[in-house]
Amino acid sequence: MPTVAADPGPFTFDLDSTALIVIDMQRDFLLPGGFGESLGNDVAQLRRTIAPLAALLAAWRAAGLPVIHTREGHLPDLSDCPPAKLKRGSMIGQPGTFGKILIRGEYGHDIVDELQPLPGEPVVDKPGKGAFYATNLDELLRETKTLIVTGVTTEVCVHTTVREANDRGYECLVLSDCVGSYFPEFQSVGLRMIAAQGGIFGWVSESSALLKEITR
């Protein structure tokens, strides 16, 4: 079984029971002029993840390993949007540069061109931050024990998903160069929190260490 150099220690896993999850790499979060930038965020902090994640995806697919993508968003009538979320996010469903914000089917809701899912790769549409809430992700992962976690943002949807996965018994390896936050300090602290206390939520490594193991 492959072993990856990681924090807090070496991470050993079985590729036959491992899946790569790509969280919310959506246009509205990553493209200039999108929803994320309209809130005053620096999308370059997220866009730096695209190149290493694209390289990882290419190698992962070449090895015939499973990939699952997620997108955060809602039905056009917002019937699946929790009231507390809508109260604090009044822009949800409103017109934006790339269509109605966080609405399924809109251009901005979809995944950036560089990381588009291939036919047959599941895309989980989620109404919340975590990828397990109100979705079929757990069912899709029935034969899976380990998750390679990538995507955005580190302290919100990535962290929530990792915590949910941990409670469900999955082992998580978070790739630091393939996850991103608009806030560098949140990126740093978020990754440290995952690996703290002997890996309380999982392990943290870089994609280069994983690539060495799957391209041998």
Task: Report the Cα 197 to chain-centroid distance in Å.
Answer: 23
The C-alpha torsion from 114 through 37 and 86 to 149, rounded to 10°, is: 40
Length of the chain: 216
Pairing of strands 99-100, 95-96: antiparallel
Does 8 sit behind a cis peptide bond, omega within 30 degrees of 0 on the bond before it? yes
Rounded distance, CA 208 to CA 216, Å?
Answer: 13
In Å, what is the CA distance from 169 to each residue of 138, 189, 192? Answer: 11, 23, 20
Look up 81 and say whether it is catalytic: no
Active-site entry in 125, 126, 129, 172: 126
- Say whether 85 is catalytic: no
> Does the annotation count 110 as an active-site position?
no
Cα-based distances in Å from 38 to 28, 113, 126, 150, 157:
9, 20, 22, 24, 19
H/E stretch holding 176: strand 171-180
Q: Which of 81, 157, 172, 178 is catalytic?
A: 157
Active site residues: 24, 126, 157
